[in-house]
Amino acid sequence: MINPGTGVPVYRQLADLIRRPIETGQLRPGQRLRAEPDYMHEYGISRTSVRQAIAMLRSEGLITTTRRGSRVRVEQDIAEVVIGTDTRVTTRMPTAEERQMYGIAEGVPVFVVQRDGQDEPEILPGDRTALIGD
């Protein structure tokens, strides 16, 4: 299943193996991935490589990880926000503090909404927001 000599790093091969059932819907949102030792033993690879693969998927926003394991990220309810001509929106990754403050998972960006005449931009979680023009 995983071949060390192919030029493709082991951790990437594993990431692709985990990605497949998620993208085909065999592993649905909310469902758990296998535990790190499972992947280690099944493919005969080190924990480092397993964790690197999982970290990659996490920073892509595909999964979330807690002390109880990793799960496919669940879709959130989306609030639609109307954007007028007086408004400029950019996107970026949140700081760790913003993640904490707004309850944002790793791998989820934020909208930065700057309205004319307001000093402070509004920060909107990227997994719970959609923008619509005015």
Partner DNA sequence: ACGTATTTGTACGTATGTATC
Partner DNA sequence: AGATACATACGTACAAATACG
Contact set with DNA (CB under 7 A): 4, 9-12, 33, 35-37, 44-49, 51-52, 65-70
Taking CB under 8 A as the rule, does residue 133 contact a second copy? yes
Q: What is the DSSP string of 45-96?
A: --HHHHHHHHHHHHHTTSEEEETTEEEEPPPPP-EEEEE-TTEEEEEEPPPH
Site for a second copy in 4-33 (CB under 8 A): none
Q: Identify the residue whose tokens are 């639609």.
A: 80
- For 70, counting Cβ atoms within 10 Å of its Cβ (0-12 exposed, 13-18 middle, 19+ buried), the class is buried
Q: Which is nearer to a second copy, 1 or 82 (CB)?
A: 82
Q: Are strands 129-133 and 79-83 parallel, antiparallel or unpaired?
A: parallel
| Residue 63 binds which of a second copy, DNA, none (CB < 5-8 A, kind-dependent) | none
Least Å distance between CB 129 and a second copy?
8
User: What is the Cα–Cα distance from 89 to 71, expressed in whole angstroms?
Assistant: 31
Question: CA 24 from chain center: how many Å?
Answer: 17
Taking CB under 8 A as the rule, does residue 86 contact a second copy? yes
Give the range of 29-37, 38-46, 64-72, 103-111 binding a second copy by CB under 8 A: 103-111
Residues that bind a second copy (CB under 8 A): 55, 59-61, 78, 80, 82-93, 95-96, 106-111, 126-127, 129-134
